[in-house]
Amino acid sequence: MSTDGGSHPNLGLYVWQRMTAGALFWLPTSFLFFLNRHGLDSTLRLASIYFLAVVIFEVPSGWVSDHVGRVGILRLAALAWVAAHGLYLVAGDSFGTLAGAQVMLALGFASKSGTDTTLLFDTLESLGRVGDFERLEARAAGLAFASTAVAVAIGGVLGFVDLRLPFAASLAAAVLQLGGTLRMVEPPPHGPDHPPGGGLSLGPVLANLRRPVLLWLLVFLTLQQPLEGMALDLIQPWLTRLVGSSFSDPGTAPLLSGALMAVISVVGALAAAAVPVLRRGLGVTRSLMALAGVETAIVLGMALTASPLLLPLLAMRSTQAAAAPVLVSTRVSPLLDRGHRATFLSLGSLSGRLLYGLVLLALGGRNGLDPVLGLAAVFAVASLGLLVITSPLAATDSPRRQV
């Protein structure tokens, strides 16, 4: 068999795209950057602007990906990130400019959401190598998290010097990401495709929800984003409390956050590599519930204690973010035709980000970190309970497929 990148240029460039997109130097310091300028309430509002903006862009970008092409949407994502990071650098204390940067960041995330993995699946499908999808996607996810591990460690140091510097490094990574997408080629059509000239209609995609397994996966995708988001976004203010600093003067919190995020990313890379073993051992459904359980435990733990003994649990934060997309894509892609894959995943991402945007608005109405963490814990436990209660849906689709 040829090397992964030798039989089609997209295979090597896909890894490049995932690694440059994963170079989020600002990840351990962005909340500290916002907190330093606008306080907790406004920071949560800025976060909600991002997630609600994703809702606006999510399904249209998925539809364009399915009906016009994957590569153009990935180029749009990279361009949006170039604009976003440029705005962060020039924003100063302007809430409006920071909000605009959040919207551009949302456009980038929404555009690549679902499109990157479906580009890989479509490319392999055109090569007759669909069986390689799980292995190659897990490898790309692992390398993306390895890239994130290096980026966040550097970003923590840069943020300790100046909280704007991580955005400058991410701007350079976005330019490199754009360069890679400019060399990608659209995979040729293979098998059944969407009807030409179709409008932006979710009807055919929503019709797939009559299949119980796809309905449950949509429930999981909806709850996945708030669980991941709370477990990530609340770490930085929690760490500020842990080191005895304040939002106006975070002290060593950027360094500790960068080191912790690096460990989190390494654990995420290991989790991505372990996906085939996890799926064979537990099945897709039980694996996804276990991953959601880890995120729930993290949010609940932060609400209960500010002890450094919680740090090993926080290091597990990216297990769901790394493994769940591979598990979901592996399950979903064979069940949907090419014209519905990215739209379905975008629909799940949209519903999740809409829910998390509303959760952030609710959290932003709380006065102080303790009430925010308490409400977040209640939501996390309720979400895990809902996943467990509805999980029998995933076992009623087809006895031939492992769930």
> Contact 375/362 with Cβ under 8 angstroms?
yes
Determine the pLDDT at residue 334: 77
64-83 confidence digits (pLDDT tens): 777 778 899 999 999 999 99
How far apart (Å, rounded) are the C-alpha atoms in residues 391 and 217?
Answer: 9
> Contact 228/124 with Cβ under 8 angstroms?
no
Q: What is the pLDDT along the chain (403 residues), one digit of tens a residue?
A: 334 444 688 888 999 999 999 999 998 999 889 988 888 888 888 988 998 888 888 777 777 777 778 899 999 999 999 999 999 999 988 999 999 999 999 999 888 877 888 888 888 888 888 888 888 888 888 898 889 889 999 999 999 999 999 999 999 999 999 999 999 998 876 554 444 444 445 667 677 778 888 889 999 999 998 999 899 889 988 998 898 877 777 878 888 999 998 898 888 888 888 888 888 888 889 999 999 999 999 999 999 999 999 999 999 998 988 889 888 888 887 777 766 776 787 788 778 888 988 898 888 777 788 999 999 999 999 999 999 999 998 876 543 343 3
Determine the pLDDT at residue 208: 75
Determine the pLDDT at residue 198: 45
> Contact 209/393 with Cβ under 8 angstroms?
no
> Domain limits of the chain?
9-186+205-395
Determine the pLDDT at residue 171: 97
Determine the pLDDT at residue 201: 55
Determine the pLDDT at residue 372: 92
> Contact 398/285 with Cβ under 8 angstroms?
no
How far apart (Å, rounded) are the C-alpha atoms in residues 328 and 346?
Answer: 12
Helix (H), strand (E), coil (C) string for the chain: CCCCCCCCHHHHHHHHHHHHHCCCCCCCCHHHHHHHHHHHHHHHHHHHHHHHHHHHHHHHHHHHHHHCCHHHHHHHHHHHHHHHHHHHHHCCCCHHHHHHHHHHHHHHHHHHCCHHHHHHHHHHHHCCCHHHHHHHHHHHHHHHHHHHHHHHHHHHHHHHHCCCHHHHHHHHHHHHHHHHHCCCCCCCCCCCCCCCCCCCCCHHHHHHHHCHHHHHHHHHHHHHHHHHHHHHHCHHHHHHHHCCCCCCCCCCHHHHHHHHHHHHHHHHHHHHHCHHHHHHHHCHHHHHHHHHHHHHHHHHHHHHCCCHHHHHHHCCCHHHHHHHHHHHHHHHHHHCCCCCHHHHHHHHHHHHHHHHHHHHHHHHCCCCHHHHHHHHHHHHHHHHHHHHHHHHHHHCCCCCCCC
Using alpha carbons, select from 196, 168, 171, 180 the residue that is nearest to residue 67.
196
How far apart (Å, rounded) are the C-alpha atoms in residues 103 and 121?
Answer: 28
Topology (CATH) of 9-186+205-395: Growth Hormone; Chain: A; (1.20.1250)
> Contact 226/276 with Cβ under 8 angstroms?
no
On the CB side of 211, CA atoms within 13 Å amount to 16
Determine the pLDDT at residue 40: 83
